[in-house]
Amino acid sequence: MPALKVEFSDRELEDLRQIAKERGTSMKALVREAAAADIVRHRALKEGAEVFRRFFTQHADEFAAAFPEDEPPRRGEGRAA
């Protein structure tokens, strides 16, 4: 299995030791679990953003009608420079 060397400050390392001890797990398992949880979170955020973009695109006209003040000015409209 591929490995990754990760460096921590003395304080971080001591904190990791303490947390692992409190949870009854190894430091390696603790760090791996944290990284895996962050990967899951990152994927969920990306998927959620894509769902939102699709929804917004599909309902763009409705949003424009409901919030006209948030619409960008069209060409030729707006303030003169």
Query: Is the pLDDT confidence value at 24 over 60?
Result: yes
What is the rounded average pLDDT for all residues in the chain?
92
- Written in H, E and C, the secondary structure of 57-80 is HHCHHHHHHHCHHHCCCCCCCCCC
The model scores a pTM over 0.75: no
**The pLDDT of residue 74:** 79
Query: Is the pLDDT confidence value at 36 over 80?
Result: yes
**The pLDDT of residue 78:** 59
In sequence order, the 6+-apart residues with CB closer than 8 A to the CB of 26 are 20
Query: Is the pLDDT confidence value at 35 over 90?
Result: yes
Decide: 26 and 20 in contact? Cβ < 8 Å.
Answer: yes
For residue 20, CA distances in Å to 17, 29, 30, 64 come to 5, 8, 6, 52
User: Quick one: pLDDT band at residue 77, thresholds 50, 70, 90?
Assistant: low
